[in-house]
Amino acid sequence: MNKNDLDPAWLEEQLARAEWQTASSGGTNCVEVAFLDSAIVAIRDSKNQHKPPHIFDDAEYDAFVDGIMRGKLRRA
């Protein structure tokens, strides 16, 4: 499914029942991720759960994680 073609009602329902996972680093600033149906991934800030999450398809999410793992997303 293309994330740009998502039905807003479907996405709202998916986010309402999402099982959010937090990376446990021992800190207080965490990113939470939820794997939704139809190969869609949502990411949000654990301290600002009221804000809309960032939505990725599986390929985008994999590229995002790969960039983190390879250190490509560091501030210069």
Q: What is the pLDDT of residue 68?
A: 87
Q: How sure is the predictor about 9, in pLDDT bands with cuts at 50, 70 and 90?
A: very high
Please give the structure tokens belonging to residue 31: 């990113």
* 38: three-class secondary structure by DSSP: coil
Q: What's the pLDDT tens digit per position in 19-49?
A: 999 876 666 678 899 999 999 999 999 889 9
Q: What is the pTM of this model?
A: 0.84
Q: What is the pLDDT of residue 40?
A: 96
CB-based contacts of 41: which residues, under 8 Å, 6+ apart?
A: 33, 34, 35, 55, 56, 57, 58, 60, 61
pLDDT at 76 over 80: no
Q: Give domain limits for the chain.
A: 3-69
Answer whether 32's CB lies under 8 Å from 43's CB.
yes
Q: What is the pLDDT of residue 30?
A: 84
